[in-house]
């Protein structure tokens, strides 16, 4: 069998590229031939406020990656579709996460399907976190180009009903990443980051945008109870918006000595240090569908605090591997205070190790293949 994935991959960086590379490797590990067709031009500047779209690390040596797509050049869409058809895959998986990509991905999908090749979409979102004019029209164009859909959360599965009556839809939980290396001891990880081995440290990881709710976490850090027990917050990831409001909030709340800013892109080989150094990973999101951050936390056996949005509560059992809280700073502070005063870290970590067994790449791929069989 031969599978082709269409979506970001090396030298592009970010969670979606990481996912596509891990998925491709998962197919290869199961004896299935797999290649990735990625972008050579992905985002215009108004959609990418970060410092760079490209990785500085080494290419994954075991993967076949073709950087052939420009999001804004239709000729590249036609050429890519032609090249994919010439490869004669049994199945094409198209990664969909943003309406801006719908013209490119929808056109490629349509031309592939005309040759009788099945196309399944892996949909991170069908309704974006940050809405723009034309989103619904663009998503509708893409959705109608596919034979079926895999979603990474039940919330997106429901969202798809507004765009299609196609019954070939399946929720498969986001698998756990193994691409960031193995666990290291908390002491070693903190030494690498120049953090005190005795401090109480929680982690906010990933790029910073309004929907991620970092401001709620900073207000929770100002709660007198959290201040009194001396909790520190490491913020690791790029600002994708003006950082001034956050810096002002840190100063206003008197958190200068308790918030540690590591606000540049974190390379893959450094990710393990941040997760292994933390007592708990906090995702105080205002809205979400699913998140790769939770799966990285699972990989490194870290307790989690998430807000009750999108699909996060589906994969973080409340009171077992961490907390699912309301979307407000008081509830977040309550959970942080409980975590430390009742010494929950060991209990939650043990439960994380047991819970994560259900999130394997092989199970995810088997789910895809089962859906493929229905086409």
What's domain 2-175+360-372's superfamily in CATH?
Answer: Glycogen Phosphorylase B; (3.40.50.2000)
Residue 60 in this model has a pLDDT that exceeds 80: no
Helix (H) or strand (E) holding 188: helix 186-192
Name the architecture of domain 186-357: 3-Layer(aba) Sandwich (3.40)
pLDDT (tens digit per residue) in 16-44: 999 999 999 999 999 999 999 999 998 77
Could you give the CA distance from residue 169 to residue 166 in angstroms, rounded to a whole number?
7
In this prediction, residues 217-225 reach a mean pLDDT of 97
Q: How many other CB atoms are found less than 10 A from the CB of residue 372?
A: 18
pLDDT of residue 311: 77
- Is the backbone of residue 322 left (phi > 0), alpha (psi -120 to 50) or beta? left
pLDDT of residue 157: 92
More confident residue, 345 or 181: 345
Task: Give the global pTM.
Answer: 0.78
Residue 46 in this model has a pLDDT that exceeds 90: no
Could you give the CA distance from residue 322 to residue 287 in angstroms, rounded to a whole number?
19
For 68, phi then psi, to 5°, come to: -125, -5
Q: Where are the beta strands (DSSP E) in 71-172?
A: 91-96, 119-123, 148-151, 169-171
Average pLDDT over all residues of the chain:
92
Q: Distances in Å between the alpha carbon of 369 and those of 25, 28, 32, 302, 372? A: 15, 14, 11, 31, 5
pLDDT of residue 298: 95
pLDDT of residue 56: 63
Query: What residues does each domain of the chain span?
Result: 2-175+360-372, 186-357
């Amino acid at each position: 069998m031969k599978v082709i994935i269409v979506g970001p991959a090396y030298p592009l960086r970010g969670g979606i590229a990481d996912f596509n590379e891990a998925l491709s490797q998962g197919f290869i590990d199961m004896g299935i031939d797999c290649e990735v067709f990625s972008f050579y031009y992905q985002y215009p500047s108004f959609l990418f406020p970060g410092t760079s779209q490209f990785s500085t690390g080494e290419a994954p040596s075991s993967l076949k990656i073709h950087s052939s797509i420009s999001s804004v050049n239709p000729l590249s869409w036609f050429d890519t579709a032609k090249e994919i058809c010439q490869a004669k895959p049994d199945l094409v998986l198209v990664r969909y996460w943003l309406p801006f990509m719908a013209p490119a991905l929808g056109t490629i999908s349509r031309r592939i399907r005309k040759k009788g090749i099945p196309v399944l979409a892996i949909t991170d979102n069908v309704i974006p976190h940050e809405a723009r004019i034309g989103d619904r029209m663009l998503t509708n164009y893409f959705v109608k180009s596919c034979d079926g859909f895999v979603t990474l959360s039940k919330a997106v599965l429901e969202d798809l009903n507004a765009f299609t009556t196609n019954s070939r839809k399946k929720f498969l939980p986001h698998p756990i990443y193994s691409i960031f290396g193995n666990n290291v001891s908390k002491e070693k990880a903190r030494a690498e980051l120049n953090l005190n081995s005795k401090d109480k440290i929680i982690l906010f990881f990933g790029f910073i945008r309004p929907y991620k709710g970092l401001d709620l976490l900073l207000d929770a850090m100002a709660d007198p109870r959290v201040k009194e027990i001396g909790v520190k917050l490491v913020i690791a990831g790029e600002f994708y918006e003006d950082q001034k409001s956050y810096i002002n909030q840190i100063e206003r709340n008197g958190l200068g000595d308790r918030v540690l800013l590591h606000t540049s892109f974190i390379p893959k080989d450094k990710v393990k240090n941040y997760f292994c150094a933390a007592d708990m990973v906090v995702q105080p999101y205002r809205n979400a569908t699913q998140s790769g951050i939770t799966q990285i936390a699972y990989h490194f056996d870290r307790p989690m605090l998430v807000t009750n949005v999108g699909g996060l509560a589906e994969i973080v059992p409340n009171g077992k591997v961490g907390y699912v809280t309301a979307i407000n700073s008081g509830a977040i502070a309550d959970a942080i205070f409980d975590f430390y005063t009742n010494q929950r870290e060991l209990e939650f970590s043990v439960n994380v190790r047991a819970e994560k067994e259900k999130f394997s790449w092989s199970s995810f791929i088997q789910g895809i293949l089962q859906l493929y069989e229905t086409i």
